[in-house]
Amino acid sequence: MVQINRDACTIQIVGVGGQGALTVSKIIGAAAVKKGTPIIISEIHGMAQRGGVVQTTIRLGEVISPLPFGQDVTVMVGFEPLEVYRARSQLTMDTIVVMSTDPVRPVSVSSGGQRYPEPGAVVEEMKKRLKCVFPLSAKASARTAGNERVTNVVMLGALTGTDVLPFSYEEMRSAVGKIVPSRSLEVNLKAFDIGYNETHGKKA
C-alpha cells in the first residue's frame, strides 16, 4: 500500500459539468472546518454547464499554494474515466486513484465524430502506471442506494474508504449531513456507505 502523508494531502477531482464535484468539495470543507484542518479549494471549469471538463483541487494541511507543485497529487477522484486518462500527467506512481467506470460521452463521440476508449482499457492503463487504482461503477452503486443522481456521494464514500483523508468515517458521514438537504439525506448516507465499502480494507 502507498505511504500516506496526513500532514499535507492533495485531492484532485476530475469529471464533467453536472456530476456534483462542488457538493463533494463542500462536504470535505465542512469536515475540515469542524476539525480545524487548513483547507484550500480551487476549481477549473470548462463550459461546465454543457458537460465540459471540471477539475477541483482540494489541499488539506499546511500547504503554501492553492495548486500542487509538480506531481504531488495524493489522490485523484475520477467521476469520469476519460477525464482520469486525460489528467494522467498529473499523477505519480504513488498517487491513489479512485475512479468511476461509467462514461459520459461528449457530443463529439455521440455524434460519431470521435471514438471513446473502453473504460476497462483506461482502468488497465492506470493500473500499469500506478500502485493503487480503485475502479467502481458509481452509477450502479447509486442505483442500489436508491437514486442514480447521488453518484458523487458514492465517490466521496469510496475516497473516504481509502483512509487517505485526515478525517474518520464518522467525521465524513457527519459532514454529509451538514451539506446535503434533509429530504435527501437518507439516500445520500446510503450512497456514502456503499462507496466506502467499495474501497475500505481492500487492495487496489
Q: Mind listing the pLDDT tens digit for each residue in 26-52?
A: 999 999 999 999 999 988 765 545 557
Continuous H helices in the chain: 21-35, 81-86, 107-110, 119-129, 138-145, 151-161, 169-179, 185-199
> Does 72 map to a domain?
yes
> Does 157 map to a domain?
yes
CATH of the domain at 68: 3.40.920.10
Has residue 69 got a pLDDT over 90? no
- Give the number of other Cβ atoms within 10 Å of residue 186's Cβ: 13
Q: What is the pTM of this model?
A: 0.89
Q: How many structural domains are present in the chain?
A: 1
> Does 138 map to a domain?
yes
Q: Which residues contact 136 (CB under 8 A, 6 or more apart)?
A: 98, 99, 100, 101, 154, 158, 195, 198, 199
Query: How confident is the model at residue 48, as a pLDDT?
Result: 45
> Does 1 map to a domain?
no
Residues β-bridged to residue 137: none
> Does 204 map to a domain?
no
Query: How confident is the model at residue 6, as a pLDDT?
Result: 53
Query: How confident is the model at residue 44, as a pLDDT?
Result: 74
Render pLDDT for 130-166 as a digit per residue (tens, 0 to 9): 999 999 999 999 999 999 999 999 999 999 999 999 9
Reading the block at residue 131, the C-alpha cell is: 500502485
Question: Which structural domain, as residue segments, surrounds residue 38?
Answer: 8-199
> Does 64 map to a domain?
yes
Reading the block at residue 75, the C-alpha cell is: 489522490
Task: Tabulate helix, strand, coil % of the chain (nearest 5).
Answer: 45, 20, 35
> Does 3 map to a domain?
no
Q: Which residues contact 179 (CB under 8 A, 6 or more apart)?
A: 23, 26, 27, 30
> Does 2 map to a domain?
no
Query: How confident is the model at residue 115, as a pLDDT?
Result: 77
Q: What is the DSSP letter of 115?
A: P
